[in-house]
Chains A and B, each alone.
Chain A
Amino acid sequence: MKMSTNAYVVTKEINKASLWKAKSLLLDSLDMELTERCNNNCIHCCINLPLDDMNAKNKELSSEEIKNILTEAEALGCLSVRFTGGEPLLREDFTELYLFARRLGLKVLIFTNATLITPQLVDLFVHIAPLEKIEITVYGMKKSSYEAVTRTSGSFEAAWRGINLLLEKKVPFVVKAALLPPNKKEMNEFEQWAAAIPWMNKPPSYAMFFNLRCHREEEKNGHIRSLRLSAEESLKVLTHRKDKYTKGMKEFCAKFTHPSGKKLFSCGSGLGSGCVDAYGDFQPCMMLKHPDCLYNLKTGSLKDALENFFQKIREKKANNPEYLKRCANCFLKGLCEQCPAKSWIEHGTLDTPVEYLCEVAHVQARFLGLIGENEKAWETKDWKKRINNFINN
């Protein structure tokens, strides 16, 4: 065997590391909901529990349990962990968990409202970088709108203090927004401000099709439904950069738009990724908390869940006649956010059409010229021709 004369060290951009994708790692990224508790009380939130919910706190995974999960994730080749919540910075052991993950060689993506970012945390991020841009959701550009969403006095100042600390010490972060009645008139102001953030290399993303409570709390769901943009309003937001939207949709439709048949899982849930909830249940994706889809990590392993449990879930087929008539035959499947998780949170089953999402997909399809005014996409037989016409014009 001869020594190679090639360069010894090759640099690769982490976010484009095709080597993992190509080799189909059992686990390449992991989501961890460190807590469901939050110091805000946002009007649209699908998961938050009160800050002082001791019942929830007592059930949360311990530091050691989280470290054991992270250690197994690393051994399976995982490169990146997302710490989310609730508000992940609420965990008293956040710094300990962050350092542990980074020292394992994991990149850490933090989803936060920024209100709990302290000078000490910023110093930590400066010296031991997460290697992923922190993601911050902004709820308004004014105290009145922000706190009308968060229902938490002082949260506006706290978030801006956190954001300014990151800016001052040049810790990379990006911002996104939840478009809600109290703040939706501030979209332009938000975009102008976001564009000046040095690490925003594309326009901010918006949440507007708010998920219902992921534990199916019907008493709170009515209010969340009332906050959603109408399908027409959402189209205005999606198409406010019309050329970019149309170009993106052409690329997307060329790859993903086709009927999915009886198979329920056409997304990548549970393939090389998954979400550990605050209490140790491992689920294929963050929103899918259907009891049949939860794997208890206190009595099992990530490996077993990924190799066996998730595979079985992914084989599930639809039985609901309405789903089989509509969603299974609908060529807008890729455009539509209908999925087993959304079906679960809306209807308590994995295979019930979600009318709101159906409406949003149809409004977009009409805008793109894929269907006519009163057409239903699942009744369209010549969908291939329509897609071809759309992507080639």
Chain B
Amino acid sequence: MEKKIDINAIYKPSEDVVARDVQGEFIIIPIASGVADMEDELFSLNDSGKAIWDKLDGKRSLKQVVEKLALEFDAPKEELEKDVFGILKELLKRRMLVEG
């Protein structure tokens, strides 16, 4: 069963992945096996995905991440929250984030 995400929870990148910015392409590379669905794949985050990833620093709660995003992006908080939860699910499914 999918775990419900708490808006007050804190997340950070897993030590089992490395994030790299290669000529403007933001990629996440598995280090430990089993992190990705398939070993021979790398993962690329789009701009909004990267903006969210950068704020998942093990200090901010998801609520604070949304507030920070609201200062940078011209979008309603509800929409931003939906985006944050969207990427969280994707990244947690791939074990790229851990609770901070």
Instruction: Write the residues of chain A forming the contact surface with B, with a CB cutoff of 8 angstroms.
Output: 1-4, 6-15, 17, 19-20, 23, 25, 74, 77, 79, 102-105, 107, 126-129, 131, 172
Give chain A residues whose Cβ lies under 8 Å from the Cβ of B73: 1-3
Q: Report which of B29, B39, B75, B90 forms a contact with A9, defined as CB distance below 8 A.
A: B90
Q: Is the CB of B43 within 8 A of A9?
A: yes
Q: Give every chain A residue within 8 A of B52 (Cβ-Cβ).
A: 8
Q: When the two chains form their complex, are residues A8 and B33 in contact, meaning their CB atoms are under 8 A apart? A: no
Docked pose: A6 CA to B51 CA in angstroms = 14
Whether B80 pairs with A3 at a CB distance below 8 angstroms is: yes
B50 CB, min distance to chain A CBs, angstroms: 9
Instruction: Count contacts on B: residues with CB < 8 A to the other chain.
Output: 42
Q: Give complex CA distance A253, B70 in Å.
A: 56
What are 15 pairs between A and B in contact, CB < 8 Å? A3-B48, A8-B46, A9-B44, A9-B87, A9-B91, A9-B94, A11-B43, A12-B42, A23-B25, A104-B18, A105-B18, A105-B29, A129-B30, A131-B29, A131-B39
Q: Which residues of B contact A (CB under 8 A)?
A: 18-20, 22-23, 25, 27-33, 36-49, 51-52, 69, 72-75, 79-80, 83, 86-87, 90-91, 94
- Nearest B residue (CB) for A16: B40
Q: Which of A11, A14, A127 contacts B32 (CB 8 A)?
A: A127
Interface contact B83-A3, CB-CB below 8 Å: yes
- Please determine whether B41 and A13 come into contact, CB atoms closer than 8 angstroms: yes
A10 close to B18 (CB less than 8 A): no
- Residue ID in chain B nearest A28 by CB atoms: B22
B18 to chain A, nearest CB (A): 4
Q: Please name all residues of chain B whose beta carbon is closer than 8 Å to the beta carbon of A6 when the two chains form the complex.
A: 46, 48
The answer to whether A74 touches B20, judged by C-beta atoms less than 8 angstroms apart, is yes
- Beyond the given pairs A1-B72, A2-B75, 12 more chain A to chain B contacts, judged by CB atoms under 8 angstroms and listed by A's residue number, are A3-B69, A6-B46, A8-B45, A8-B52, A10-B44, A12-B27, A13-B42, A17-B42, A19-B23, A19-B25, A105-B19, A128-B32
The interface residues of chain B lying within 8 Å CB-to-CB of A129 are 30, 33, 39
Q: With A1-B73, A128-B33, A131-B30 given, is the CB distance from A11 to B41 under 8 Å?
A: yes
